[in-house]
Amino acid sequence: MMDADVPRTPARRRRDAAATRQAILDAAVAAFTRHGYDGVGVREIAQSAGVTAMLINRYFGSKEQLFAEAVDVAFAPRTVIAGTGDALAGETARALAARTAPEADELGPFLLMLRSAANPSAAEIMRDAIARHAGRHLGEELSGDAAGVRAELMLALQAGVWLLRSVLATTALRDAPQEELAAHMEPLFRRLTDPQ
């Protein structure tokens, strides 16, 4: 036959360890965000990445270590706060109202955090990640007394809004218009961002 000597190109992807590892990691971030640590199995993640479950242990050692790397990826970008200086409170409130809107099925570190918090091992991994990433980001913006406490209260308020509005979809927050909700949240953030 004519194609006897043509180099075969597998349907999915070349055999490339780095690319496979990255595909698994991307799938893991999405899956853990949508279903939480306990809510998703390694088979499901592997299938999304187009590989078999075995490769997860091959490249990451265990489900828990894969989760640790996924958390690091999800928490690294500075998505938790928006804007700087005087605009910090307003921008954060508006971004939060937009991203937790019922029609915006967005991902993001808060959903990963909320949906994995029940597992003690996952909680410990996330606590360390917060100290390394989010805490550091907010520490750059906030100054004055008790900057650490005020920064974590900002995170707490955001996490709570994500929980009630996005995860549980309680009626008042779900139905609130974006601008109105942002207007209610901005003074809360401002009380925390302004130096005291």
Residues forming the site for its own copies (CB under 8 A): 35-39, 113-119, 123, 126-127, 130-131, 135, 146, 148-153, 155-161, 163-165, 167-173, 176, 180-181, 184-185, 187-188, 191-192
Radius of gyration of the chain (CA): 20
CB 69 within 8 A of CB 25: yes
CB of residue 55 to its own copies, shortest distance in Å: 25
Q: Give the integer Cα–Cα distance in Å for 118 and 114.
A: 8
- Among residue numbers 28 through 47, which ones bind DNA (CB under 7 A)? 40-44
As measured in angstroms, the least distance from the Cβ of 122 to DNA is 12
Q: What is the 3-state secondary structure (H, E, C) of 48-102?
A: HHCCCCHHHHHHHCCHHHHHHHHHHHHHCCCCCCCCCHHHHHHHHHHHHHHHCCC
In the bound state with DNA, the residue whose beta carbon lies nearer, of 41 and 187, is 41
How far is CA 170 from each of CA 1, 79, 139, 167, rounded to the nearest angstrom? Answer: 64, 24, 32, 9
Among residues 25, 27, 28, 51, the one that binds DNA under rule CB under 7 A: 51
Structure tokens at 132: 């390394």
Q: Smallest distance, Å, CB 60 to DNA?
A: 8
Residue 87 interacts, among DNA, its own copies, none and using kind-specific CB cut-offs from 5 to 8 Å, with none
Q: Least separation, in Å, of the C-beta of 42 and its own copies?
A: 16
31, 45 contact by CB (below 8 A) = yes
Report d(CA 30, CA 111) in Å as an integer: 10
Q: Nearer Cβ to DNA, position 121 or 170?
A: 121
Taking CB within 5 to 8 Å according to partner kind, which of its own copies, DNA, none is near residue 165? its own copies
Chain residues in the site for DNA (CB under 7 A): 13, 15-17, 20, 40-44, 50-55, 57-58, 62-64
